[in-house]
Structure 1
Amino acid sequence: MVVVICAELHWPTPTLHYYILKNILEKLVSRLTDLIANAKGKDPQLGADLEREFRALSSRLSFGLNFERHNPEAVELPRRPVRRGDKVHVLPPRGSTAKGDQRLWLVKAIHKTSKMAELTLLGAAGGESHTVALDDLVVVAEFRDTIYPGLVPTGNVSRGGDKPWHTVINGENYHALKALTWTHRGKVDAIYIDPPYNTGAKDWKYNNDYVEGDDLYRHSKWLAFMERRLLLAKELLNPADSVLIATIDEKEYLRLGLLLGQVFLEARITMVSSAINTGGVPRKGSFSRSTEYLFFVFLGVCKPLPQALPADWNPVQTKNKFILRWRLMRRDGTNAQRADGPNSFYPIFIRKLDDHAVFHSVGDAYYGSDLSEIETPDGCVACWPIRKDGSFGTWQNGPARLKELIKSGYAKIGPWRGKDTALYYLNQGERSKVERGQFPLIGQNPDGSIITDISDQHIMFVPSDLWRIPSHDAGNGGSRLLTSIIPGRKFPFPKSLYAVEDALRFFVTNKPNAVVLDFFSGSGTTAHAVKRLNKQDGGRRQCISITNNEVGADEQTTLREKGFRPGDAEWERWGICDYITKPRVEAIITGTTPDGQPITGDYKFTDEFPMSDGFEENAEFFTLTYETPVGVSYQTSFPRIAPLLWLRAGSVGRRIEELPVAGWDVADAYGLLVELDKATDFLNAIRRAGTPQIAYIVTDDERRFQALARRLPEGVEAIRLYESYLTNFAFENGDNA
């Protein structure tokens, strides 16, 4: 409509073009808004659907990455009990491999005696109804729905004493990320993700269906899927100093780069090419694939820190880039004539001692022309900045500065050639390398110049964006390593442990208490890498790993033929989290396989030791649950909310598992006050403990909450339950796309 109007208008002047079109569009938007409001009054669901589509269209960018958001994304929750008011799918009969009914039904009533549910078809004009056995229903959560998350502990392993606990969360990663918006908003130092590569080979699902290679909306579905999760990830990262690392291959790297640029507008983004299969994977009709890509998204002041890396990180650069470089003391090139720096024309007196030359003294600046009139100390020769053509030049430094350099060991003498002996010094950049420990001092030469260790293990630098590192090979550092840890259990394309470890190292070396998140954790490589980094420097970093319990496509068919469904114990035991991730995390800590045998083989590179040694770390496993606001407010959901309180307090020490009988309790990192008339006892306990970071206070009375908050010791954060929790997820509700 706008195009037609514009075509028929005769614009009076170019200056008015923008204002006339703007006026037309504003009137159009206003009219559409009125029509949507009317539609809401007659049919709330239709009105809401129209408004959502209108918002999606009106938010389209003139330039940049435009794609369909495919609302609503949905996920089935097989372990979630069916409640009245739930949206559900009707499952196919047991033993069938056919696809179930993908229409959404609303549960109107539940008959507990007969275990049947009365359903109404959502969106149907005729109000179609149905009565189905509860066992044949699965709850569906759409991504615009409000969810109130909880966590159920499913096991743990502890060898780390008072260290923070690593956590593994089994759940849909979008919902798990929403849970973390309450516990970790702005607290995450690094995110490492290896999302689905969208190969078209059943490597991921959208709305409970595998996205195949012939899907016309394959790429926009992937973008919508990723955008929702990246928007939540952005809320979790520390805006002042953090990094997001995402790996991808050639199928989506262009789209991912654009998407990251749109989600993280204020960030600096760079891409690294990394060889993960030196032999290459043959591909029909194309070049063999050996490379994948890593996007690094830098927030705030974040930047990669120089690391002690072997020289093979940068095979294309000359090695002298990574050694301590002594520069000729006589100035060469431009501005090297005596007239350019007369104050830097002076004698340097050296003498020979045994087989070596040593500094004797530094003379004053000389402005004359007869060098013989300068007295030379006995046994010494005078070195002057004489150029190759015999003209007078200058030294790089004045007399006073050179004396300081000699005293500090930053000046040295070359092989003895009398008055023509070459003299060298370290400039400011090279001196900085020494002063920050990049080149450790191991002694002094006879002339007083420093001796540094320049062996490969001490070469520190930030590499280029081309990585061809043997340890990053996905075969040796990924598949074969995983086979040693959990023998007989296969996982497709695990990352090299050392590749993930090295990528993170640039950003958490100076953060021994860093929080690292991986919400596509798969086999658990990121958690493994964080434990390796902790062992290398005694750090207390913690990793939060999120994965679902999806069963592989081939295994699904076999299990369905046997009459099993998602949610059944026999089905769930083959899921990624229960079959791969949790066993791996437990095995690497204990040093034993799931069968109780010592893990064979040694860790390589950086830190070499037997894998059977394990790690002195702690890890706890959880499954995400879905609570009701009533259950939260009336505290019947407390056992599932309790882990979130502990997570928000840093995942350290004891966890308060149940409502305290005394009306209050104080754990290592936080306290909980349930009965306000016990406030004095609670406050005294907080003061005695000395270490709690958070005080959770359960009350509906804002005035009393504020009064108690003012009485807490300095540094203890007061959080009102359950208002803070409920409000967070009410605000988080809605379509994030």
Structure 2
Amino acid sequence: MSRLTDLLAKAKAKDSQLGADLEREFKVLSSRLSFGLNFERHSPEAVELPLRSIRKGDKVRVLPERGSAKKGDQRLWQVKAIHKAQNIADLELLDTAEPEMQSAPLSELIVVAEFRDTIYPGLVSTGKVTRGGDKPFHSVINGENYHVLKALTYTHRGKIDAIYIDPPYNSGAKDWKYNNDYVEGDDLYRHSKWLAMMERRLFVAKELLNPADSVLIVTIDEKEYLRLGLLLEQVFPEAKIQMVSSVINPFGVARAGQFARVDEYIFIVNFGQSVPVQTPIQTLQVGDSMQVNGDEDLAEQAGENLKKVDKTTYWFSFMRAGSNSSRSHSPGCFYPIFVSKDGAIKAIGHPLPKGESKDNVKTPAGTYAAWPVNEAGGEAVWQASHENAKQLLASGYIRSGRFNKKLGRHSITYLREGTVEAIANGLLTIADGEINRVVEQTRTYVGKSTWNIRSHNATSQGTKLLGRILPRRKFPYPKSLYAVEDALRFFVSDKPDAIILDFFSGSGTTAHAVMRLNRQDGGRRQCISVTNNEVAADEQKALREQGLRPGDAEWEKYGICDYITKPRVAAAITGKTPSGDPIKGDYKFTDEFPMADGFEENAEFFTQTYEAKNAVNHNLAYARIAPLLWLRAGAKGSRIDELPVEGWAVADTYGLLNEVDEATPFIDAVGAVNGLRIAYIVTDDDRRFQAIAKRLPEGVEPVRLYESYLSNFSFANGE
């Protein structure tokens, strides 16, 4: 709207009547707001690429001086020429009426990519962890998530089974940037910038999701949930959308002048046949020593990562009360129980004949005699004969408790006949005096729209858990590992080979949760985690004062991806912290085992690159495109990282033919590999490509390089 206002002003200056007429029509149109969400799209976003080398034709900014906290020149310049001998570039100012030129050292420039620009992406591997044998690799990609999503349109279009994202909540506390500027609480366009940022990414995510059966899960809090709900309705009109409320902090987070916040919201967007799976609950261990905060039924809904509270009382007083409880009524049940001073029952004595005083009974050394005497001093009886009591003691079904000063003895409790029978039949178990019920039948639960589950506490199972994995490394508000695990379980528990994407991956919780799901059912799911390497706002200030800036090694090592995401995924797999120490503590709930055990999984870490079209066309960028070919083929097994000198090569899941004259041995090799999915054929001749494609074994997809790659991004990235 601001752009139209400027244009109207110019029209008025040149022709007042024309300008007035246009303004009148504009007001009429602007008053006809369409139903739904209306917001400013703003100019397309731009991202700075500090690690990208500068090329002729690039858009760049001039960096501020080292040590300066100033924002620097935000204008965009185009590189017209590069003088390598002097390491200087000639620049021309963009979007200006009057031409302006300058020269600047290459070291003082940073490449800028606008989101309307066509990009040709690549990936560079920065490390891997392999403990999963032939399982597919999880991927962690360091890059601007919009551009990585564009890259994934080549590798995973229509193939993603689930997307889980935790986008910035737009709190106004420097939690995200728009065009290299933090969006703060007093920004008049704060909400529309957030919506524009989300809309662009959701449109690309729509291309990646399997339209026949997939789910998008988005978490948000009260600041943007209304706008997000409308945005999801507009971007995905064909989907089924529901919102869940989830308690993440039962103690509450203070909001000035408002109720304390205990929950957040989860939007569930289902496509095609996707529905939440009814989760089977088998062999519930139920004990009165375990507690759950909140409704018991809610604790069961997410696949029961909690143990339901059993309010049944099993241990009852062994002294009879009420009618028929006197010694004279049942003299055979009046006998001593010999208890050691530390409270352990040592033996069961014999009943006393009528009239004989209990004071005459001798006690074994180190014990005292506990009698069924009530607080008033009256002689009562025990619940069972001394022979039955001896059997109870031998089975562990009678025990002593706290010392009762009024009775002058330890309390004595026992298990009733029905409980003993249930233990004998396997319906109950006893260990160290604790009774657990075993529910043998399988039950299923459909999730409810409010989740109040102990394991979803973001403090104990998010912040504190991450602190054990990455000691002394801070990350703001990580999600509970088990909250993400439970949300995904509803939609991928029946998909052991599911592909899950998180393009706001932050600390890497989603990848961690997918590993846990795999361990629980032997699945081979893989997760693609996308995050940038942004340094937190507070840390940026300190680093700039040291004379550092983006692109410097000492700066980049504190970025989110290198400092948190990659180390967290690696540590989860190996079971060791970045310093090599075993991770302390155990995983809880659904799957309980030491965190130091790690996972039998594979993961590889990548940084996104930006390639030149001519370099791609002439096979000069193959090394950076190779990981994309491998990802498209399933991210499994070996990879062809270099152009084969023989003219062809075959990996575990795909083959590459870069010399079409070698088609015959290539086709023979492809046919000899079981499970090979794709054959990449490098040729500019469509007829030769078609001829080779017809000779491939059935089930092998032919893909023409680099035509498929270039056309994908020429089409997908133009805005």
| Range into which the TM-score falls when normalised by the shorter chain | 0.7 to 0.9
Distance 2:49 2:439 in 1: 55
Matches of residues 710-725 of structure 1 in structure 2 within 5 Å? 710-725=694-709
What value does the CA root-mean-square deviation take over the aligned residues?
2.3
Look up the match of 1:636: 620
CA–CA separation in structure 2 for the residues paired with 1:319 and 1:119? 62
- 2:246–2:264 Cα contact (<8 Å) kept: yes
TM-score by length of structure 1 reads: 0.73
Output aligned runs, 1:106-117, within 5 Å. 106-117=78-89
Q: Hey, what does 2:279 align to over in structure 1?
A: 307
**Match status 1:615 vs 2:587:** no
In the other structure, the counterpart of 1:186 is: 158
Deviations 1:239-264 (A, max 9, x none): 00000000000000000000001111
- Aligned counterparts, 1:264-279, within 5 A: 264-279=236-251
Work out the CA distance in 1 between the residues paired with 2:662 and 2:298. Answer: 70
Please give the alpha-carbon distance, in whole angstroms, between the structure 2 residues aligned to 1:76 and 1:261: 32
Q: 1:661 aligns with which of 637, 642, 645?
A: 645
Please give the secondary structure, in 1, of the residue aligned with 2:134.
coil
* CA distance, structure 1, for counterparts of residue 536 and residue 490 of structure 2: 34
The corresponding residue for 2:584 is: 600
Q: 2:534 aligns with which of 550, 565, 572?
A: 550
Aligned counterparts of 1:708 and 1:85: Cα–Cα separation in 2:
38
For 1:687 and 1:510, the matched residues in 2 are separated by: 31
C-alpha distance in 2, partners of 1:73/1:228? 10
1:245 is aligned to 217
Q: Of 60, 72, 82, which residue of structure 2 is paired with 1:100?
A: 72
Alignment of 1:12-411 (within 5 A): 62-308=34-280, 315=295
Deviation at 1:588, TM superposition (A): 0.6
Structure 1: how far apart are the matches of 2:565 and 2:300? 43
Task: Go from structure 1 to structure 2 and tell me whether the alpha carbon gap of 1:137 and 1:668 turns closer, same or farther (over 3 Å shift).
Answer: same
1:505 to 489, 492, 499: 489
Secondary structure, in 3 states, of the residue corresponding to 2:98?
coil
Q: How many positions carry a matched residue from both structures?
A: 554
Q: Does 1:515 align with 2:495?
A: no
Deviation at 1:689, TM superposition (A): 1.2
**8 Å CA contact retained: 1:308, 1:457:** no
What is the CA-CA distance between 1:315 and the residue it aligns to?
2.2
Change (3 A) 1:318 1:629: closer
Worse-matched range after superposition: 469-478 or 279-288: 279-288
Distance of 2:610 and 2:298 partners within structure 1: 57
Within the candidate set 507, 516, 520, 1:532 is matched to: 516
Query: Comparing 126-135 with 178-187, which one deviates more in the overlay?
Result: 126-135
Aligned residue among 547, 559, 574 for 2:543: 559
Q: Is the CA contact 1:77–1:141 (under 8 Å) kept in the aligned structure 2?
A: yes
Aligned residue type for 2:167: P
- The aligned counterpart of 2:682 is 698
Whole-Å separation in 2 of the counterparts to 1:664 and 1:302? 41
Distance in 2 separating the partners of 1:640 and 1:239: 30
Residue number in structure 2 paired with 1:350: none
Counterpart mapping for 1:440-451 below 5 A: none
The answer to whether structure 1 residue 469 and structure 2 residue 441 are counterparts is: no
Say which is worse superposed, 116-125 or 306-315, in terms of deviation: 306-315
Q: Quick one: which amino acid aligns to residue 137 of structure 2?
A: W
In structure 2, how many angstroms separate the alpha carbons of the residues matched to 1:61 and 1:606?
50
3-state SS of paired residue (1:677): helix
Q: Residues of 2 paired with 1:215 and 1:580: CA distance?
A: 29
Residue matched to 1:14: none
CA–CA distance in 1 between the matches of 2:440 and 2:293? Answer: 11
In 2, distance between residues paired with 1:544 and 1:458? 33
> 2:631 — aligned with what?
647
8 Å CA contact 2:299–2:452 kept in 1: the answer is no
Question: Amino acid of the residue matched to residue 547 of structure 1?
Answer: T
TM-aligned CA deviation for residue 235 of structure 1: 0.3
State the shift of 1:124 in Å.
Answer: 1.3
Instruction: Determine the C-alpha separation between the residues in 2 that align with 1:537 and 1:552.
Output: 37
Tell me what 1:486 maps to: 470
CA 654–100 in structure 1, closer or farther in 2 if over 3 Å, else same: same
Counterparts in 2 of 1:463 and 1:222: CA distance versus 1, 3 Å: same
Q: Return the TM-score normalized by structure 2.
A: 0.75
Task: Check conservation: 1:82, 1:134, Cα contact below 8 A.
Answer: yes
Contact 2:90–2:101 at 8 Å: present in 1 too?
Answer: yes
Query: Does 1:455 pair with 2:427?
Result: no
Q: Which amino acid aligns with 1:633?
A: N
Q: Is the 8 A contact 1:159 1:617 kept in 2?
A: yes
Greater mean deviation of Cα atoms: 301-310 or 127-136: 301-310
Residue 575 of structure 1 deviates from its aligned partner by 0.2
CA distance in 1, matches of 2:440, 2:713: 51
The corresponding residue for 1:626 is 610
- Percentage identity across aligned positions? 69
Which residue identity lines up with residue 152 of structure 1 in the other structure?
V
Query: 1:211, CA displacement in angstroms?
Result: 0.1
1:443 shift after superposition = 11
Letter in 2 for 1:184: H
Q: Distance in 2 between matches of 1:254 and 1:296?
A: 14
Supply the AA of the counterpart residue of 1:307: T
CA-to-aligned-CA distance 1:273-320 (integer Å, 9 cap, x gap): 000000001122111111000000000000000114689798286999
For structure 2, the 5+ residue unaligned runs are: 1-6, 12-25, 287-291, 303-424, 428-436
Structure 1 residue runs of 4+, over 4 Å off? 309-314, 316-322
- Taking a change above 3 Å as real, the CA distance of residues 320 and 720 of structure 1, as seen in their structure-2 partners, is closer
Q: In the TM superposition, what is the alpha-carbon distance from 1:730 to its structure 2 partner?
A: 0.5
In 1, Cα distance between the equivalents of 2:441 and 2:506? 32
Distance 1:703 1:556, change over 3 A: same
Looking at structure 2, the residues matched to 585 and 321 of structure 1 have their Cα atoms a distance apart, in angstroms, of: 28
CA distance in 2, matches of 1:166, 1:557: 34
